[in-house]
């Protein structure tokens, strides 16, 4: 996902906002921002529940189940993007190279391209996102998945970051 | 921009600061609740909806507030703008435009004819340097010609309180009956005990609202007093931009600029009848003939579904020819569609015309529509 968000500024004093922290887990995160271990446990726990994730440096994740990879965007990405209002996804059957642009997510004030974590063919797209694009914000690792695809080159998975490496990566962006 | 005003409300960093920065390093300000210090990061959609159902505070202190004094103050301000200020009632204001000699719009502004011996002008933050230089240059000309006029660039802060429950909230802190303060009228009054305030019933959201000019030393205290009412929440400029677009209001720099004339911009109503006849404003020789002859392009509203339409999006005819460009656009939480403004060839400007917009190389259907997109709720009195 291209994090060079297109922001429409009214003035230099632009203020956007993050999604409402409705889930108690996130409120907990907010209160305990001085305790990074808490943060890491939270993300690790949520991903263990849904299977091991691999991440790109453009904030997509892929979860492999058998021969199928499910693709979505990370919590870091959905927070930065804001309320998703439209998902532009490819058609089933589209062949993708690793890092090829396959679509875009639009939020109120920003738009971001999506990049394929792997080489493969799109087998399914999440049709629920047409009527409910907010699923990407509410459940980015579960119901907010974007596409499913075949995995033509399994070795590409080794090039991606595991959760711990991704956590480190996003922390490095903060400095 | 030199000498730019800073917003006077405190901007405290959210404890989730690492998450408050995009990876491009753009700092995003988070609004703290001043009541309990807990981070209430909110979405733009939530803020916008709150404004339309309750009310919100916007810090617009960066806008330039000017007082024009002197016997010839009305003549002075009229020499720079298209509006008929002389005909305004006491303490009545109007939207007007600074124009240049080429007929283009230099800025849009609110001009109020007060009965306290001055004309009160509020103009855009982004044009503060340009506008103040423009007014000062004209001031020198007027003084040299022996006229009695003076300028004062105000140091006060400005906050907007906008939404249907504004009057209910504000009445608790104002002695005057707000039912008598109608849209585009202004009054000097203490607000929640704070002296030196001016309250003008106007805004940039389409809702019933006010803008409160308040001494900068008291703006935090006033904001805290307003936030003590559970109806009121802070809102940022992102939501403000979506609100004004839903209300069909232009953003200077996007929808109007020095290359757009008031006629192209569908703002002919701002040009006073007397002014059209006298042609006594900058660029009148270009603007007035356009009123009758029409222009090649016109600013219109667009509605579409699918991907949001943004500034610079090409506008196409049904057969794919480029006929214009979008100047502002956003998803509308109220309409659950995308709304936008742009300029199209005059032949396509009629409401109901089917056109297309090109988003990410795909043509998406759109319709020319009337503005405001969301009905406005200006208070006209009882």
Query: Count of domains in chain A?
Result: 1
Query: Considering only alpha carbons, which residue of chain A is nearest residue B245?
Result: A10
Q: Which residues of A touch B311 (CB under 8 A)?
A: 8
Q: Is the confidence at residue B15, as pLDDT, over 90? A: no
pLDDT of residue B238: 84
Per-residue confidence at B237, pLDDT binned at 50, 70, 90? Answer: confident
pTM higher than 0.95: no
Q: Give the integer Cα–Cα distance in Å for B340 and B334.
A: 14
* Burial (0-12, 13-18, 19+ Cβ within 10 Å), B233: buried
Percent of chain B with pLDDT over 90: 84
Q: Is the confidence at residue A21, as pLDDT, over 80? A: no
pLDDT of residue B209: 98
Q: Which residues of B touch A80 (CB under 8 A)?
A: 19, 22-23
Tokens standing for residue B56: 């919100």
Q: Give the integer Cα–Cα distance in Å for A175 and B231.
A: 38
Per-residue confidence at B3, pLDDT binned at 50, 70, 90? Answer: very low
What ipTM, to 2 d.p.? 0.74
Among the residues of A4-143, which ranges form H helices?
Answer: 24-31, 36-50, 75-81, 128-131, 135-138
Q: Are B204 and B242 spatial neighbours (Cβ–Cβ below 8 Å)?
A: no
Q: Is the confidence at residue B64, as pLDDT, over 70? A: yes
Per-residue confidence at A44, pLDDT binned at 50, 70, 90? Answer: very low
Per-residue confidence at A83, pLDDT binned at 50, 70, 90? Answer: confident
- Which of A57-61, B174-178, B234-238 is the least confident region? B234-238
Q: What is the mean pLDDT of residues A149-172?
A: 94
Q: Give the integer Cα–Cα distance in Å for A4 and A116.
A: 17
Q: Which residues of B touch A3 (CB under 8 A)?
A: 22-24
Q: Is the confidence at residue A36, as pLDDT, over 60? A: no
Q: Is the confidence at residue B195, as pLDDT, over 70? A: yes
Q: Which of A80, A82, A111 is facing B44, going by the closest CB pair?
A: A82
Q: Do B47 and A17 touch (CB under 8 A)?
A: yes
| Pairwise pLDDT comparison (B37 vs B10), residue with the higher score | B10
What b/e string do you get for A52-61 counting C-beta neighbours within 10 Å, with b at 16 or more?
Answer: ebbbbbbbbb
Structural domain contains residue A76: yes
Which of A 143-172 lie inside 8 A of B, CB atoms?
171
Per-residue confidence at A35, pLDDT binned at 50, 70, 90? Answer: very low
The answer to whether the peptide bond before residue B372 is cis (omega within 30 degrees of 0) is yes
Q: What is the mean pLDDT of residues B224-246?
A: 92
pLDDT of residue A142: 94
Question: pLDDT tens, B352-370?
Answer: 999 999 998 899 999 999 9
Tokens standing for residue A106: 């639009």
- Smallest CA–CA distance, residue A131 to chain B, in Å, is 11
Please, what is the average pLDDT of chain B? 89
Query: Considering only alpha carbons, which residue of chain B is nearest residue A26?
Result: B16
| Pairwise pLDDT comparison (B164 vs B39), residue with the higher score | B164
Percent of chain B with pLDDT over 70: 89
Q: Give the integer Cα–Cα distance in Å for A127 and A132.
A: 9
| Pairwise pLDDT comparison (B90 vs A174), residue with the higher score | B90
3-state secondary structure of B47: helix
Per the annotation, binding residues of B for substrate are: 211
Q: Which of A6, A17, A30 is facing B238, going by the closest CB pair?
A: A17
Q: Are B101 and B282 spatial neighbours (Cβ–Cβ below 8 Å)?
A: yes
CA-based nearest residue to B231, from B304, B167, B159: B167
Structural domain contains residue A36: no
| Beta bridge pairs of residue A69 | A64, A149
Question: pLDDT tens, B87-99?
Answer: 999 999 999 999 9
A18 reaches B (C-beta below 8 A) = yes
CA-based nearest residue to B236, from B2, B53, B49, B58: B58
Which of A 39-98 lie inside 8 A of B, CB atoms?
76, 79-80, 82-83, 85-86, 88
Consecutive H or E run containing B139: helix B128-144
Q: Which domain holds residue A116?
A: 55-153
Q: Is the confidence at residue B125, as pLDDT, over 90? A: yes
Name every residue whose Cβ is closer than 8 Å to that of residue B170 and which is 6 or more positions away in sequence: B161, B178, B191, B199, B210, B226
Question: pLDDT tens, B34-47?
Answer: 333 333 345 778 88
Q: Are A98 and A56 spatial neighbours (Cβ–Cβ below 8 Å)?
A: no
Q: What is the mean pLDDT of residues A125-149?
A: 96
Consecutive H or E run containing A64: strand A60-65
Q: Is the confidence at residue A49, as pLDDT, over 60? A: no
Q: Is the confidence at residue B32, as pLDDT, over 90? A: no
Q: What is the mean pLDDT of residues B120-124?
A: 97
Q: Which domains does chain B carry?
A: 11-245 (3.30.1360.120), 296-369 (2.40.30.110)
Q: Give the integer Cα–Cα distance in Å for B197 and B218.
A: 10
Q: What is the mean pLDDT of residues A98-125?
A: 94
Q: Are B186 and B138 spatial neighbours (Cβ–Cβ below 8 Å)?
A: no
If phi > 0 it is left, if psi is from -120 to 50 it is alpha, else beta; for residue B331 that is beta
Query: Considering only alpha carbons, which residue of chain A is nearest residue B125?
Result: A11
pLDDT of residue A52: 87
Q: What angle do CA B258, B259, B260 make, to 5 degrees?
A: 95
Per-residue confidence at A108, pLDDT binned at 50, 70, 90? Answer: confident
Alpha-carbon distance values, B1 to B5, B28, B127, B128, B130 (Å): 10, 20, 9, 9, 10
pLDDT of residue B42: 59
Q: Is the confidence at residue B4, as pLDDT, over 50? A: no
Per-residue confidence at B118, pLDDT binned at 50, 70, 90? Answer: very high
Q: What is the mean pLDDT of residues B67-83?
A: 98
pLDDT of residue A110: 83
Which CATH number covers residue A118? 2.40.50.100
Q: Give the integer Cα–Cα distance in Å for A152 and A166.
A: 23
Structural domain contains residue A92: yes
Structural domain contains residue A144: yes
DSSP string, B326-368: EEEEEEETTTTEEEEEEEEEGGG-STT-EEEEEETTEEEEEEE
- Classify strands B322-332 and B337-345 as parallel, antiparallel or unpaired: antiparallel
Find the helix packing angle between B237-246 and B44-53, rounded to 10°: 60
Per-residue confidence at A109, pLDDT binned at 50, 70, 90? Answer: confident
Per-residue confidence at B7, pLDDT binned at 50, 70, 90? Answer: very low
Q: What is the mean pLDDT of residues A101-122?
A: 93
> Residue A48's Cα: distance from chain center in Å?
16
């Amino acid at each position: 996902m291209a994090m060079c968000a297109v922001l429409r500024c009214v003035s230099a004093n632009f203020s956007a906002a993050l999604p409402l922290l409705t889930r108690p887990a996130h409120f907990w995160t907010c209160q305990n921002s001085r305790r990074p271990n808490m943060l890491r446990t939270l993300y690790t726990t949520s991903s263990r529940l849904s299977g091991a994730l691999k991440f790109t440096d453009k904030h997509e994740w892929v979860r492999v189940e058998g021969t199928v990879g499910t693709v979505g965007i990370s919590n870091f990405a959905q927070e930065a993007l804001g309320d998703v209002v439209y998902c532009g996804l490819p058609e089933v059957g589209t062949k993708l190279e690793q890092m090829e642009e396959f679509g875009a997510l639009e939020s109120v004030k920003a738009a971001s391209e999506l990049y394929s974590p792997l080489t493969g063919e799109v087998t399914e797209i999440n049709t629920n996102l047409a009527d409910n694009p907010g699923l990407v914000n509410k459940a980015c690792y579960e119901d907010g998945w974007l596409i499913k695809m075949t995995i033509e080159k399994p070795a590409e998975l080794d090039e991606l970051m595991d959760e711990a490496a991704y956590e480190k990566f996003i922390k490095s962006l903060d400095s | 921009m030199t000498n730019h005003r800073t917003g006077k409300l405190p901007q405290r960093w959210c404890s989730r600061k690492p998450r408050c920065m995009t990876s491009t390093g753009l700092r995003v300000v988070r609004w703290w609740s001043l009541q309990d210090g807990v981070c209430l990061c909110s979405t733009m959609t939530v803020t916008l909806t709150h404004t339309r159902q309750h009310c919100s505070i916007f810090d617009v202190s960066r806008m330039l507030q000017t007082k024009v004094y002197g016997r010839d103050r009305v003549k002075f301000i009229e020499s720079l703008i298209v509006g008929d200020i002389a005909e305004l009632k006491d303490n009545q204001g109007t939207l007007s435009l600074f124009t240049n000699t080429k007929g283009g719009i230099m800025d849009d502004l609110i001009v109020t004819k007060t009965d306290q011996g001055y004309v009160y002008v509020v103009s855009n933050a982004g044009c503060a340097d340009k506008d103040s230089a423009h007014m000062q240059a004209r001031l020198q000309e007027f003084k040299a010609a022996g006229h009695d006029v003076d300028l004062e660039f105000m140091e006060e802060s400005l906050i907007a309180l906008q939404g249907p429950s504004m009057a209910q909230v504000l009445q608790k802190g104002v002695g005057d009956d707000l039912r008598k303060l109608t849209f585009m009228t202004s009054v000097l009054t203490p607000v929640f005990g704070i002296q030196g305030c001016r309250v003008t019933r106007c805004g940039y959201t389409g809702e019933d609202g006010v803008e409160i000019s308040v001494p900068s030393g008291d703006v935090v205290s006033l904001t805290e007093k307003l936030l003590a009412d559970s109806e009121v929440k802070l809102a940022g400029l992102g939501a403000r931009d979506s609100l004004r677009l839903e209300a069909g209001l232009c953003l200077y720099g996007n929808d109007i600029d020095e290359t757009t004339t008031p006629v192209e911009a569908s703002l002919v109503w701002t040009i006073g009848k007397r002014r059209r006849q006298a042609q006594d404003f900058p660029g009148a020789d270009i603007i007035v003939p356009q009123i009758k002859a029409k222009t090649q392009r016109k600013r219109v509203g667009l509605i579409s579904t699918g991907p949001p339409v943004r500034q610079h999006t090409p506008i196409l005819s049904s057969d794919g020819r480029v006929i214009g460009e979008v100047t502002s656009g956003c998803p509308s939480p109220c309409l659950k569609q995308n709304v936008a403004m742009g300029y199209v060839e005059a032949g396509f400007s009629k409401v109901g015309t089917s056109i297309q917009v090109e988003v990410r190389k795909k043509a998406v259907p759109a319709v020319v529509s009337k503005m405001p997109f969301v009905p406005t709720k200006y208070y006209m009195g009882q």
